[in-house]
């Protein structure tokens, strides 16, 4: 069911689930449902300059991508979370959001391919 992919690494899910394919499938489905909402929210909050809530949303998105083994993106979202909650380094927010949208869209594509098998 699971193979090596460029964006995602399901090793963490395999570990915490004892390789339970049903549990892994449920978490993948949840990811596929949540990520488009997170993308929309991050962009909307950025455009509204609602930094505090942008930080809160980055926290939620961070947890989701971390479950899929996207450690680098999770680290970027952690930085966004911490900076946005304090209103610091605003110039870097858009770049992190862009990376999140790009990489999470690639992850969605990979996960859909996994689910089809």
d(CA 66, CA 63): 5
Domain assignment present for residue 29? The answer is yes
What domain count does the chain have?
1
Q: State the pLDDT at residue 103.
A: 97
Mean pLDDT of the chain: 93
CATH number at residue 54: 1.20.120
Domain assignment present for residue 4? The answer is no
pLDDT digits 0-9 by tens, 10-50: 898 899 889 999 999 999 999 999 999 999 999 999 999 99
Lowest mean pLDDT, pick from 8-17, 51-60, 84-93: 8-17
- Torsion-angle region of residue 19: left (phi > 0), alpha (psi -120 to 50) or beta? left
Domain assignment present for residue 3? The answer is no
Range of the domain at 39: 11-116
Domain assignment present for residue 88? The answer is yes
92 is written with which tokens? Answer: 């870097």
Domain assignment present for residue 68? The answer is yes
d(CA 54, CA 83): 10
pLDDT at residue 4 tops 90: no
Domain assignment present for residue 73? The answer is yes
Domain assignment present for residue 1? The answer is no
Query: Is 0.95 surpassed by the pTM of this model?
Result: no
- Give me Rg for the CA atoms of the chain: 14
Domain assignment present for residue 45? The answer is yes
């Amino acid at each position: 069911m699971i193979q090596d992919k460029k964006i995602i690494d399901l090793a963490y899910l395999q570990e915490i689930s004892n390789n339970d394919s049903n549990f892994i499938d449920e978490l993948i489905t949840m990811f596929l449902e949540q990520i488009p909402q997170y993308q929309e929210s991050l962009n909307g909050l950025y455009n509204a300059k609602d930094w505090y809530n942008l930080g809160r949303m980055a926290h939620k998105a961070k947890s989701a991508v971390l479950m899929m083994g996207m450690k680098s993106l999770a680290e970027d979202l952690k930085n966004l979370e911490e900076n946005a909650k304090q209103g610091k380094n605003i110039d870097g927010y858009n770049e992190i959001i862009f990376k999140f949208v790009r990489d999470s869209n690639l992850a969605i594509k990979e996960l859909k391919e996994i689910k089809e098998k």
